[in-house]
């Protein structure tokens, strides 16, 4: 099964609020950085461009957006709220009812792809 189909299936099998968040985040990645490739790694939706850029995880009470080189990314809007002590990664945890600054998230996505150009 192709990665896109696996991601579609994951979205469909999640509780409605999580599926909606994941679907919207997927759209934002596509809008922000078309060079990112959808892949299915570690049983999770993952986006790559010359290496891993970001991955999503669905947990009981939240959705996690993990940026593989997040510690090196600028985050002027303070979106990172998890994994702040990790050496390389940073994450954003979203809970039911949360909103996110979509413009700032798109900036992080573009920066993650650009980081892999080095």
Q: What is the pLDDT of residues 41-56, one digit of tens each?
A: 999 999 999 999 999 9
pLDDT bracket for residue 66 (50, 70, 90): very high
> CATH topology for 3-115?
3.90.1150
Q: Which two tokens stand for residue 25?
A: 């985040």
Is-contact 71 92, C-beta < 8 A?
Answer: no
The domains of the chain are located at: 3-115
Is-contact 108 75, C-beta < 8 A?
Answer: yes
Q: No. of H helices and E strands in the chain?
A: 3, 5
**DSSP string covering 28-53:** HHHHH-TTPEEEEETTEEEEESSSEE
Taking residues 95-109, what's their average pLDDT? Answer: 96
**What is residue 94's DSSP assignment?**
E
Name the pTM for this structure. 0.94
């Amino acid at each position: 099964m192709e990665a896109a189909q696996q991601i579609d299936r994951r979205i469909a099998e999640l509780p409605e609020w999580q599926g909606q968040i994941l679907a919207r985040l997927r759209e934002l990645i596509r809008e922000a950085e078309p060079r990112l490739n959808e892949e299915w790694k570690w049983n999770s939706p993952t986006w790559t461009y010359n290496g891993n850029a970001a991955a999503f995880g669905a947990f009981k009470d939240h959705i996690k957006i993990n940026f593989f080189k997040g510690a090196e990314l600028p985050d002027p809007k303070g979106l990172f709220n998890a994994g702040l002590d990790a050496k390389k990664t940073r994450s954003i945890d979203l809970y039911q009812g949360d909103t996110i600054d979509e413009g700032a998230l798109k900036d992080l996505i573009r920066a993650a792809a650009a980081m892999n150009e080095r």
